[in-house]
Amino acid sequence: QVQLQESGPGLVNPSETLSLTCAVSGASISSHYWNWVRQAPGKGLEWIAYRRHIGTTHGSPSFKSRIAMSVDTSTNQFSLTLTSVTAADTAIYFCARRPALGGTGLDHWGQGILVTVSS
């Protein structure tokens, strides 16, 4: 059974860096495409970025150069960093998997973590 679990701070100061981690169980981090998606309070879904265990971060142009992802095969986790955050970055952040085989949908999601940007 594939499970994803986000962790990180619930509160970040404006202009600082947000760092989140997603722990994966039931699947190898060395396979698949690992994604971050966010949802501002009461709003829709917004894709942020994806990465595989090799290669580079593929991010949404909406974030320009503010995002980076890493994948740690030793711990079966992947991470997101988002720099220079503002109140507009306040959202629930989800990690999600696109399977290496079997279509292009995001088939497993974490429960989400609410991150508030405020001083």
Binding stretches for other proteins (CB under 8 A): 35, 37, 44-47, 50, 58, 60-62, 94, 96, 98, 103-107, 109-112
Minimum distance from residue 70 beta carbon to other proteins (Å): 19
Paired residues of 48 in beta bridges: none
Question: 78 vs 94, which CB is nearer to other proteins?
Answer: 94
β-bridge pairing 11-12 and 113-117: parallel
Q: How far is the CB of 114 from other proteins (least distance, A)?
A: 11
Cα(26)–Cα(41) distance, integer angstroms: 30
Q: Which is closer to other proteins, CB of 15 or CB of 100?
A: 100
Cα torsion 56, 58, 111, 40 to 10°: value is: 140
User: At its nearest, how many Å lie between other proteins and the CB of residue 89?
Assistant: 16
Residue in this structure with the two tokens 């100061």, named with its chain if needed: 13
Q: Which is nearer to other proteins, 81 or 109 (CB)?
A: 109
Task: Please give the span between the terminal C-alpha atoms of the chain, in angstroms, as a whole number.
Answer: 39
Q: Which amino acid is at 19?
A: S
For residues 81 and 16, the answer to whether their CB atoms sit within 8 Å is: no
Q: Which is nearer to other proteins, 16 or 112 (CB)?
A: 112
Least Å distance between CB 88 and other proteins? 15
